[in-house]
Amino acid sequence: MDRAPHAPQLDTLLATQREAYRRDPYPDRATRLDRLARVESLLRDGGDRIAQAISADFGNRSVHETVIGEIFFVQAGIAHTRSHLRKWMKQRRVATSFHSLPGSSRILPQPLGVVGIVSPWNYPLQLALAPAVAALAAGNRVMLKPSELTPRLSALLAELVGARFGADEMAVVEGDAEVGKAFTALRFDHLFFTGSTQVGRIVAQAAAANLVPVTLELGGKSPAIIDPSADLDEAAARIAAGKLFNAGQTCIAPDYVLVPTARREAFAQAFLQAARRMYPALAGNPDYTTIVSERHYQRLERLVDQAAATGARVLRAEGHAAQASTRVLPPTVLLDGRDDQPVMQEEIFGPVLPVVGYEQLDEAIGYINARPRPLALYFFGSDSAAQERVLTRTVSGGVTVNDCLLHIAQENLPFGGVGDSGIGSYHGEHGFRLFSKDKPVFVQSRFAGTALLRPPYGPRTERVIGLLRKLV
């Protein structure tokens, strides 16, 4: 692989961090808590500037969505980590196999060393800092490459981190995909990537070249199923809230919705009414987030136009008009579409919701299972047998029942995809374990029975093996 021009500086930074790791390979709890406190101070002191920077990067990003989806999210993760760190760091005694008694066994969670994190633009603070918090809590050093599509936030993050952390503890590397390539070619002790499935494949290959263990938090098309037992208006309102948060630019946003055929139209109307209640007008509405770039806006318009040109009906709420100049894309429902339309092939990542009809629940399950495994799945309904059927017969990264997005906010649930939507998971203790080497340690006793199994092998060995066989 050709080496990018940035590679030498990155090599130096990695060497500095690795050297610091070697000096202190097992930071005590106080050191780790101090690092978490510094991330917390960054959030507290940087709050307004963070919201402004992200909004300027997006065009308009609702300040409240930044507070909820980024700042509060990371703060809650830190609070949870702080209160559990002592327990997570503890060496855990485990039972010893009977043949090795009276020896003892335990597991020692150990920092891995230097962790590389590559993050996307859609929640540029959360997706950089949530994995960083887990990596720091586990005692690692962190190198972080945020997205070039949110340059103001990335620069601010570099400034805020640089003011609180030595470059050998945590450092931000700004840059585009080229920097990303050089970054992901480094010999980290773990590489954590959040982004598209397409780039994830490239990153996995780069990591494989150095046998760097990798976590991939990717995307895909996350379905929502409306069961006949669901309260349609309530389900539509909750799906609208989940879909339109950040204008649909959320990895776990419901991508499309499976609705009993006879209720498709009613669902579409309920969704648009809910959208109108939340956003009476779109132009200049600070609550409605805009599409991050011209290129992304045009891609979404093209998806809608292609669907319309091949038979889909495009529905929008009254008074909700598109505004290309400010990248305001209205909540849009697509009815009567086809599976071969690009909008049903690629991750939408915007406020466009195709509605797909089904007759029997198993048809909806089959539709999901015929496609790549989704990052999230949503089920709406009160029929618990139907709910169990969906849960046990589909495989997805995570599930929220009767609402959207919220499984991501549960500190005790692992967050991560499966198949095309990702490899590995984090959050809470799962994040701590991800960035730790759970080292198994067996301590032999003075009275080791295994001495009876040493050569020269003979009748005594046979008797001991016979006894062991009877005991298993």
Summarize as ranges the residues that interact with ligand NAD (CB under 6 A).
118-122, 127, 145, 147-149, 176-177, 180-181, 184, 194-196, 199, 202-203, 217-219, 251, 347, 349, 375, 417, 422
| Cα–Cα–Cα angle for 115, 116, 117, rounded to 5 degrees | 120
Shortest Å, Cβ 395 to ligand NAD: 15
Cβ contacts of 391 within 8 Å, gap of 6 or more:
379, 399
Which residue number, 177 or 448, has a Cβ lying nearer to ligand NAD?
Answer: 177
DSSP character for 91? P
Smallest distance, Å, CB 325 to ligand NAD?
A: 23
Whether the upstream peptide bond of residue 102 has omega within 30° of 0, thus cis, is yes
Which residues does 186 contact at the CB level (< 8 Å), separation at least 6?
10, 11, 14, 116, 143, 210, 212
Tell me whether residue 39 or residue 418 sits nearer to ligand NAD (CB atom): 418
Q: Which of 70, 217, 347, 429 is catalytic?
A: 217
Q: Where are the alpha helices (DSSP H) in 210-249?
A: 232-244
Q: Which is nearer to ligand NAD, 10 or 375 (CB)?
A: 375
Is residue 278 classed exposed, middle or buried when 0-12, 13-18 and 19+ CB atoms within 10 A define those classes? Answer: middle
Q: Closest approach of Cβ 264 to ligand NAD, in Å?
A: 26
Between CA 58 and CA 327 the distance in angstroms is 9
Within 8 A by CB and 6+ apart from 135, the residues are 115, 117, 142, 190, 192, 431, 435
Active site residue 363: no
Q: Under a CB-based contact definition with an 8 Å cutoff, are residues 80 and 426 in contact?
A: no
Nearer to ligand NAD, 420 or 429 (CB): 420
Distance CA 128, CA 200 (A): 16
- Tokens 């996307």 found at: 120
Cβ proximity to ligand NAD: between 21 and 349 the closer is 349
**359 noted as active-site residue:** no
Q: 251, 347, 404, 429: which one is catalytic?
A: 251
Q: State the nearest-atom distance from the C-beta of 252 to ligand NAD, in Å.
A: 7
Minimum distance from residue 376 beta carbon to ligand NAD (Å): 9
Catalytic positions, please?
Answer: 217, 251
